[in-house]
A and B are shown apart, each in its own frame.
Chain A
Amino acid sequence: MSVFLQVAVIGLAKSGIIAMLAIGIVLIYRTTGVVNLAHWAMGLLGVVVYVLVSQSTPLPNALVAVVGIAAAVGAGLVSQRLVFSRLRRGDGVTMILIALGVGAFLAAVAQMLLRGQRGEILVEPTLPTGQLVLAGTVTTYAELITIAVAIGTAAVLLPWLQRSRTGRALRAVAQNREAAELAGIDATRYAELAWMIGSGLAGAALLLLIPHSAGERGGVLSVVHLVPLGSLLIPAFGAALVGGMISLNAALAGSLIFGLVQEVLILAPAPIADERDILAYVVITVLLLLRTERFFATNAELEALRA
């Protein structure tokens, strides 16, 4: 039982990070029609700013993390203003290529900022390190806080999008841009807001992940992270696809599949436990082939996304 709990906590923490990435991907896609393959790189820029500021100032790490998130928000806003707002909608391939270009650009900028630091860079933790024993299970503070932050984000963001004035405006832009503009909603402004929220969440997710990747010492930022398409981006897209890139609730459920279920399968019998990654790739392929979007949006909404 305690082994199960331990694995479950690790899986839930991973789900939390995937969920925060997936929410951003869905929000940006719904509001602007852009499939943000630069999502990892935007968060990465936040982590790099965090690393640089925490190395050079004595400020508390939690405060520096806010600066990092602000940098990711800035990256999202600038990308939208300078690049994505100039795109013709409906040209799918060009749009994805441009998102890839923005990702490559941001990853190069991240490496430029780290000038002189090569190889593995030690990252100070944003959260308290150390372990605690809970119901006979050894967990870390970082894992528990990651889970709490992810649940908190979902608990605040989803009702806010559902009920608040801004949230309803965002959804209106997502469902019918033209009608929303006729009703007096400034679609450009809300597109920028979606980018800011989405990339801020990506920054927060990576600041929960990378600074705690090496246990007690904190974290390590290595060449594996400094790429345009990081390793958790594909599971995050998988989670978003569970909701057809449209439904946030389904995307949250999806993040449980690619985090919790995938980790818990380690306890399953041999062939399944060994091929957990492959199972995840198969699930993503099936989701793609199912074209899940049609379960979550009407044809009119899909037209609006592409027009």
Chain B
Amino acid sequence: MTADALDATSALPLPRRLPRARPGTVVGILAVVAAAVVPVLLGDFASFVGSRIAVTAIIGLSVTVVTGYTGQLSLMPYTFVGIGTFTAAHAVSSWGWPFWFAALLAAVATLPLSVLVGLVSVRLRGFYLAIATLTFASAVGATLFTWDALTGGQRGLTVARPALGPVPVASDRAYYLLTLATVLLIVWMVLGLQRSRIGRSMNAVRENETAAQALGVNVRKTKLAAFVISGMIAGVGGVFHAMLLQHVTRTSFQTPFVETLGVTLVILVVVGGMRSAWGPFVGAAIIYVQLEVFRTALLLQYVLAALSAAAFIFILLKVPGGLVDIVRHEAAAVRAAPLRNGIRVTVVLLVQVAVFVAIWRWSS
């Protein structure tokens, strides 16, 4: 914030009572209701896609905490997902544990590795940490995930969807509502984290480690907390991942797929908005809806992959806040000048839709 902006803020008269509901809140509630109702009405397939988006958003939130909030680049989110996945598969299918206990166990099972990575992150910064996490991902893939007793060997493991007490969630629609509720819960928790003392310490470490230390932030504890929280979120994501697919194999958690999945996830989170808890949800929704709409056009999937990588680079260079920020900015612009900016935003959206339809027609 510049000095002028600071002056302007301090010159404003203090409101007597904080405003109750902002227009954003109303839009947010409507969006959540729509997200819950639309896929369920559209049917099983849409609900499956919806669950996939919600599960990816859960896993993406682990990136938000460690990279978006704390500025530490970890390329091994799917290693934690793998730990959560196989732990839950055993807890539910082999030992008959109830669902929520299995989820809790999966989160706890990520602790030894996340503490280790957290400790390493205290010593390594920037690309050293990125390469260390790549190495760890490969190493865990070559050791823990080659253990047949854990992963079920080449054939993998079958996981049944849970029952929540008397309510079964085996159908795609019911499972979607469960994952959506969970991702909203975790978004709420991550929003709370950002406002908390530890969350503000994380932001301080991201902006300038030395300055944060000078202000009395315990950098070591903060980084450790970031990795532990992030690992637990990814572990819970793993539980939902296992039950979404209902059959899991170890290949996707081994080299080179574990790294590729990690890179794709980071791209999706940055495109959505790395510093907002809603970012992973937005990024996952945009990318998976497009992938499903254009499922029959194989070439277009690669075009989409290239486009999202290009969008990722553009966003990093020009709009670090990602789509969440762009939407906020445009919404503010439309509120300020509804006619002019409303028309502009509509035209831009229509052009984008037209471009996609054109590519779709050309490639199929």
**A residues bordering B, Cβ < 8 Å?**
35, 37, 83, 86-87, 92-98, 100-105, 107-109, 111-112, 115, 118, 224, 227-231, 234, 237-238, 241, 277-278, 281-282, 284-285, 288-289, 291
Contact = CB atoms under 8 A, between A and B. Distances in A.
Interface string B95-133: 000000000000000000000000010011111101110
B256 A289 contact: no
B135 interface: yes
A87 to B, nearest CB: 8
Q: Which of B132, B256, B303 has the most CB of A within 10 A?
A: B256
Given A96-B73, A118-B298, 19 more contacts: A37-B127, A83-B313, A92-B126, A94-B316, A96-B126, A97-B270, A98-B317, A101-B313, A104-B264, A108-B303, A109-B302, A115-B302, A228-B259, A229-B134, A278-B143, A281-B136, A281-B139, A282-B139, A289-B124
Contacts of A241: 131
B256 A281 contact: no
A88 to B, nearest CB: 9
B309 interface: yes
Interface in B117-168: 120, 123-128, 130-132, 134-136, 138-139, 142-143
B267 to A, nearest CB: 6
B194 interface: no
A111 B305 CA distance: 10
A281 B138 contact: yes
B123 A289 contact: yes
B122 to A, nearest CB: 11
Given A227-B257, A288-B131, A105 B310 contact: yes
Nearest to B274: A97
Interface in B235-261: 255-257, 259-260
A122 B234 CA distance: 38
Contacts of A92: 125-127
A67 B321 CA distance: 40
Interface in B302-347: 302-303, 305-306, 309-310, 312-313, 316-317, 320
Given A101-B312, A103-B263, A288 B128 contact: yes
B71 interface: yes
B132 A112 contact: no
A228 B313 contact: no
B292 to A, nearest CB: 18
Interface in B260-306: 260, 263-264, 266-267, 270, 298-299, 302-303, 305-306
18 contacts: A35-B127, A94-B316, A96-B127, A97-B312, A101-B310, A101-B312, A102-B309, A104-B264, A105-B306, A107-B305, A227-B256, A228-B260, A229-B263, A230-B256, A234-B131, A238-B135, A281-B142, A289-B120
A282 B139 CA distance: 9
A229 B255 CA distance: 9
A96 B130 contact: yes
A97 B316 contact: yes
A229 B260 contact: yes
Nearest to A277: B142
Contact of A101 (B139, B267, B303): B267
A115 B306 CA distance: 14
B270 A229 contact: no
Contacts of A107: 305
Given A92-B127, A227-B259, A231-B255, A115 B142 contact: no
B67 interface: yes
A301 B263 CA distance: 31
Nearest 8 Cβ contacts at the A-B interface:
A92-B126, A105-B309, A108-B305, A108-B306, A281-B139, A35-B127, A104-B309, A112-B302
B180 to A, nearest CB: 28
A100 B310 contact: no
Contacts of A105: 306, 309-310, 313
Contacts of B128: 288, 291
Nearest to A232: B256
Contacts of B313: 83, 98, 101-102, 105
Contacts of A97: 73, 266, 270, 312, 316
Nearest to B129: A288
Contacts of B302: 108-109, 111-112, 115
